[in-house]
């Protein structure tokens, strides 16, 4: 319409219409060099989440974070002492397969939870 208004004629086979058929290149020559390193704060957080989300032992359906959060909830609801918590966690660590990564003390649990900036 605009081109007709200014009496500008473009032939059917001109390069003007061929621009609409251009497909983007599959890879850009600078694509690999433009990747950025993650923000250090976010990288630290994701690394911590990865550690916390590790399965308790090979083949376990529970993660370290799942056990920590459930046991912390049990400790609080039952007004359990730190000593009682430690004894239960040490027993749990002994009862599970040897390759388990159970945190067997209240101190270790608090350290993990605080590293994720969660309240204890």
pLDDT tens digits, residue range 4-46? Answer: 555 555 555 555 555 556 665 655 555 555 667 778 878 887 8
Phi, psi of 6 (to 5 degrees): -95, 10
Tell me what percent of the residues of the chain surpass a pLDDT of 70.
Answer: 71
Q: Is pLDDT of 51 > 70?
A: yes
Helices (H), the chain: 2-5, 15-18, 40-52, 64-77, 82-95, 106-115
Q: Is pLDDT of 57 > 60?
A: yes
CA gap 45, 101 in Å, rounded: 20
Helices (H) and strands (E) in the chain, counts: 6, 0
Average pLDDT, the chain: 79
CA gap 112, 76 in Å, rounded: 17
pLDDT given for residue 117 in this prediction: 79
Q: Is pLDDT of 103 > 70?
A: yes
Averaged pLDDT, 41-64: 85
Cβ-Cβ contacts under 8 Å for 68 (sequence gap 6 or more): 52, 103, 109, 112, 113
């Amino acid at each position: 319409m605009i081109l007709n208004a200014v009496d500008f004629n473009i032939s059917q086979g001109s390069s003007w219409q061929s621009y609409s058929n251009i497909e983007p290149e599959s890879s850009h020559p600078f694509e690999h060099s433009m990747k950025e390193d993650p923000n250090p704060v976010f990288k630290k957080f994701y690394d911590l989440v990865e550690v916390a989300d590790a399965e308790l032992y090979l083949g376990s359906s529970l993660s370290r974070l799942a056990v920590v959060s459930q046991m912390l909830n049990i400790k609080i609801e039952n007004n359990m002492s730190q000593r009682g918590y430690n004894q239960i966690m040490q027993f749990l660590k002994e009862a599970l397969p040897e390759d388990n990564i159970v945190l067997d003390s209240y101190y270790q649990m608090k350290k993990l939870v605080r590293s994720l900036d969660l309240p204890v």
